[in-house]
Amino acid sequence: MRTANTNLRAPSRYLRRASTALVVMALALLSTTSIASADEVDRYLDLPLVNRDAAHGPGGVNPELPTDPATLKRLLDDARRSGSAPTSYAAVLFQYRLVEATQAAGIDLASWDPRAGVEANRENLIKSYRYYEDLQLGNRELQWAGMGGLVGADFGGGLIDFELLTNVYDFPQLQQTSRAIVGAATDAAGPQLVDQLPKGLRALANSGSSITGEDLHYILGMILVMQKNIFSDLMPMHRAYVTEGLPALEEMQRAGLFGDTIMDAWRDVASKTPDRIAAGNAVLLQREQGVVIRDQWNTVRAYKGDVGEAITYAATVAGSPSVAGVLPPRSFRPVEVSSTLPDGRTATLTTPLPAWNWSVYEERWDYITTQLLPKYKAMVENNWPQLESELRVPYEIQIETHRPLMSIPQLLESAMQNTRVTVTE
């Protein structure tokens, strides 16, 4: 029996030794994994956001970062656990939120290249703005997203027109019509009246016949870059808000991805107080227009002198935002210029064309705050069923039924026919 007992205890000793060895191996493996993870995290700390402006290339905010959400989540969690300052893992955090947003919209971030043109980006346009509108439908306070989605149909339709190039843009005809309006001013009061006409109108009269397909492709690329930049800046914030609330946005603020003004705006958006909600969304819109794309619109307008000025003015003539009660840009501050004649009388020229240019931030912001913001707010608060109905229209239909730029020749022809010069004592 003793022998039997000894034999029974022996396997137990072997099992204990084997278990101990397994524990040691597991600890060693965990230690190795931890070191590897730390090394991997270190690789991505303090990365610059070199591609935050999509003009620099396709993909996310830094080409070294992965675009797989699971990998990014693991890197982000490891960075948080490591005790690193949020500013050091800002690129990882931004990329993670951007990947979350693009995946929710159905967009492949790695291949999103605005320079590839409208045909290559058509689905990205549709999915971007569909996601904007879905955010509004699911969250009444996200008014920036809803308005952006509605206006995006006009924007996207215009880009489709740009892609058609010579089938749509008869710039020599536009030049001829513009020259007729400038000629009316010259005949009435000479160069001094002409000098008061919008710079874009004069540019169209001067350079319409010299605008090429290459010029349009360049400007088209810049506008698509702006579209991606807006999504990439605002949608990670929106995604963080709807999935994890204000604490997720506060982490982004601590990482230096935006400042106190934007954080306060999000607190207003989340306040459940109508006026604060509207004010917070207005701050987000000001960031979009005055920070994210301001310089790029200036670059487009300055492109090859009169060429950029002429094209951006033509787009202002054609624009017609899809928000109930909003005047089209051409009807907001129309042209009315006056000059004193040699005999002391006053010659005044009026024409139903805009006296301003959408690409100029101060003029664009005046239009937005006077027209778009208050009237969209009124729809959200007073006519939600109509707004909801419009937002639920399939976006493929929305974008195809808003092709504003195709009407430019007819609009300018109508403006020429309705140009008036009056002379008063």
Delimit the domains of the chain by residue range.
61-111, 154-224+283-424
Please name which of 89, 48, 95 lies closest in space to residue 69, comparing C-alpha atoms: 95
The top-scoring range by mean pLDDT among 112-116, 161-165, 285-289, 351-355 is 285-289
The pLDDT confidence band at residue 40, using thresholds 50, 70 and 90, is confident
Give rounded-to-5 percent helix, strand, coil for the chain. 70, 5, 25
pLDDT for 104: 98
| Other beta carbons within 10 Å of 19 | 10
The pLDDT confidence band at residue 405, using thresholds 50, 70 and 90, is low
Q: Report how far residue 56's alpha carbon sits from residue 114's, in angstroms, rounded to the nearest whole number.
A: 10
pLDDT for 171: 66
Q: Report how far residue 43's alpha carbon sits from residue 17's, in angstroms, rounded to the nearest whole number.
A: 39
- Residues of the chain with pLDDT > 90: what percent? 58
Q: What is the pLDDT of residues 175-233, one digit of tens each?
A: 777 888 888 888 887 888 889 999 999 998 888 778 887 888 888 889 899 999 999 99
Mean pLDDT, rounded, of the chain: 86
pLDDT for 8: 41
The pLDDT confidence band at residue 350, using thresholds 50, 70 and 90, is very high
DSSP 344-371: S-EEEEEEEEESS-TTSHHHHHHHIIII
pLDDT at 4 over 70: no
Please check whether residue 352 is in contact with residue 290, taking contact to mean a CB–CB distance below 8 angstroms.
no
Q: Report how far residue 421's alpha carbon sits from residue 425's, in angstroms, rounded to the nearest whole number.
A: 14
Please check whether residue 93 is in contact with residue 86, taking contact to mean a CB–CB distance below 8 angstroms.
yes
Calculate mean pLDDT across residues 242-252: 98
The pLDDT confidence band at residue 169, using thresholds 50, 70 and 90, is low
Q: Report how far residue 332's alpha carbon sits from residue 366's, in angstroms, rounded to the nearest whole number.
A: 10
